[in-house]
Amino acid sequence: MTEEPANEGEPIDDEIIALVSDYLDGALPPDRRAEVEQKVGSDPDWKRAHAELVTTREALSGLQKARAPGSFDQEVTGAINRRSAGRFFGRRTLGDRVPFGVLLAITLALLLVVGYFMRSSMTGSLKRGPEPDPSPGPGSGSAPLIPRP
């Protein structure tokens, strides 16, 4: 600040700060902008608010840009590999989300196909044998199967 505006140290109305802040952000319509410019040029409080906000903003934008450490990339990719046991990098067959619905439908269809083949196969375990003959055969009835001595 080259010029020491009047009322140094006295509080400035928050509304003045808000308008000057908007003015500095270029967020005011042209008529309001001209109004603020006029007040900054003539009113000591507005002038002080403007000077202080400009200085604050310049100080903030002048902060040095912190740079990530040199090992940053390696650490991030290392962490990804560690946490995913190396599975993260490299395309996944099914993508990130497992399509449980689709997998269930495919499994059911496969079961149906397998069931059908087992049923129609001559040797399949689901093949029904010939119906047992309900009529008694010769020698059946009350005759003992094992002759008594």
Partner 1 sequence: MSELERSLLRRLRDRDERAFRELLELHRDRVYNITFRMLGNRAEAEDVAQEVFISVFKTIDHFREESKFSTWLYRVAVNHCKNRIKYLARRHDRDRDELDETSHQQNGATLGAPIRAAQPDRALEGAQMERLLQEAIGNLDDDHRIVVVLRDVEDLSIEEICEITGLPDGTVKSRLHRARLALRKKLQRHV
Cβ proximity to partner 1, 97 vs 128, nearer residue: 97
DSSP annotation of 92 reads: -
Q: Tell which residue, 4, 2, 114, has the closest CA to residue 48.
A: 4
The phi and psi torsions of 21 (rounded to 5 degrees) equal -60, -45
List all residues 6 or more positions away from 37 whose beta carbon is below 8 Å from its beta carbon: 23
Instruction: In angstroms, give the least distance from the CB of 33 to partner 1.
Output: 15
The neighbour count for residue 56, using CB atoms within 10 Å, is 12
Binding residues for partner 1 (CB under 8 A)? 14, 17-18, 21-22, 25, 27, 52-53, 55-57, 59-61, 63-69, 72-73, 75-77, 79-80, 83, 88-92, 95-97
Q: Is 62 exposed, middle or buried (0-12, 13-18, 19+ CB in 10 A)?
A: exposed
